[in-house]
Amino acid sequence: MTFSTVITCILFLCTTGWAQYVLEDDYTSDGNFFDQFSFFNAADPTHGFVDYVDKDTAQQSGFIKTQGNQYHMGVGNATTANGMPSVRITSNKSYNSGLVILDLEHMPANACGTWPAFWMVGPDWPSNGEIGKSQNIGSTARRLTSADIIEGVNDQITNAMTLHTGPDCSITNTADMLGSVKGTNCDVKASPDNAGCQITTINQQTYGPGFNDNKGGVYATQWTSSSIQIFFFPRGSIPSDITDGSPNPSSWGKPLANFQGGCDISKSFQDLQIVFDITFCGDWAGGSAWSQSSCATHGTCQTYVQTNAANFDDVFWTVNSLKVYQSNGASESSSSVSAYSATSAYSVSSVVSTGPPYSANASKTIPTYPTEGPTTASAVPVPVYSAPSSAETSTSSKQSHWHHHWTKTAHAMPRAAEPTVGAIRDADGTLFDLEASEHERLHAAHETQSLDPEAATQHKAESERGARKSAQRMARHLRQHKRHGSGRL
């Protein structure tokens, strides 16, 4: 494959092996966000000190409103006999799989007494799963089968993500995520307090003041038959494929949470609906979490909310967009090269790195985030490609590995101060020549494997010299096009 062929393929969005998701529902496209949800106005199943109101009351009281392309959900400033006026909305539509992408600019502040959540819940909990909130079924407090995507209480400063199910569902503590497992048994009856299987993070941009001070970010939940993965991207580090409406999770790096292992996801999670809510106190925020937080110095949770009802102005959701995608049946590869477009006769726009949203040592330190844009200064921007991790690229056949990925073998070349045109960069900074054909790559791989160490070293050195010459030829070719003002590459 020549360099020009590679450019042509990328420009016309060749999709062989790419993750394929198609938009199913865009809740924010037509300005009718709230029409696609039902308003819950019964007693809070989690025993919260809250007065959930219907849609008309919420609109008249200003608890919900549309501001431009944003959708606001907040609370009152004085309590009623039942508690703090608030909203809890549930999507009219349910799902059995998908990629749920929520762009939030603001989430409810981490104030004492608060318990906000963005979650998904099944109709027959715990049989049909939850990515979400504690419920009361019969005489015991427990959760509908659900999944908490965003959840926290009181003065919490980082996100907690949890699954709550029926029996025979557990997760594996794997290194294939950025968060930390706090519980592996998802069964609501496995512990007295319905802890579920929870994954936490130390990234303070995922929740509360750290999230809001950065103008929020994107939570993307990929729900398949084998796992439920939750990704988080802070504002300024949102992948371009998300903003372009063509999400490709295989290029996002490790998820914040990865729920998989001893659980039949398809059986445990069925007909889930999307939920936003803000409750106060209740079984968790007003229970053990209250006594274990700094909020306990204020007396009881209910007393605090009653006497400080006018101080919850920062307790609200601001939604920029909510979209649900479904797989179109195409298989996802473990890596992909982001598409880019020609911006002139002789230049190619650089693409944002598709590496992890924050550092791999997130379990030890507060993660750091890359900036968007080119990572190197060059007269001609170079598209950056983040190679897959060792776990992603492990296959039973080295030939298959070489066939499916751009890898550093005979055509690898040392990192240069000024990258040449037609090169892609591995995660460790190594540059690769795109002109070498796939056939040459496979041939070089097999030859290198069969040579003794000394011969392999010599073979590699010769190949690197050939790669440099090839890249130089491409650079000259591009400069000639620039001089002559050619309208094509």
Residues acting as catalytic residues: 130, 151
C-alpha distance across the termini of the chain, in Å:
15
Contact by Cβ (8 Å): 265, 258? no
Q: How many CB atoms lie within 10 A of CB 262?
A: 12
Residue 127 neighbours by CB under 8 Å, 6+ apart: 145, 166
Residue-by-residue DSSP string for 150-186: EE--TT--S-EEEEEBSSSBB----SSSSSEES--B-
- Closest among 88, 154, 160 to 115, alpha carbons compared: 154
> Using CA atoms, how far apart are residues 276 and 319, in angstroms rounded to an integer?
10
Residue-by-residue DSSP string for 369-381: -PPSS-SS--SS-
| Radius of gyration of the chain from its Cα atoms, rounded to whole angstroms | 26
Helix (H, G, I), strand (E, B) or coil at 127: coil
Helix (H, G, I), strand (E, B) or coil at 300: coil
Contact by Cβ (8 Å): 107, 204? no
> Using CA atoms, how far apart are residues 465 and 231, in angstroms rounded to an integer?
41
- Closest among 265, 261, 257 to 171, alpha carbons compared: 261
The H-assigned helical ranges of 51-202 are: 55-61
Annotate 78-109 with b (16+ C-beta within 10 A) or e (fewer): ebeeebbbbbbbbbeebbebbbbbbbbbbbbb
Contact by Cβ (8 Å): 158, 202? yes
> Using CA atoms, how far apart are residues 317 and 70, in angstroms rounded to an integer?
10
Residue for token digits 């890249």?
A: 471
CA distances in angstroms from 458 to 18, 373, 454, 466, listed in the order given: 36, 37, 6, 13
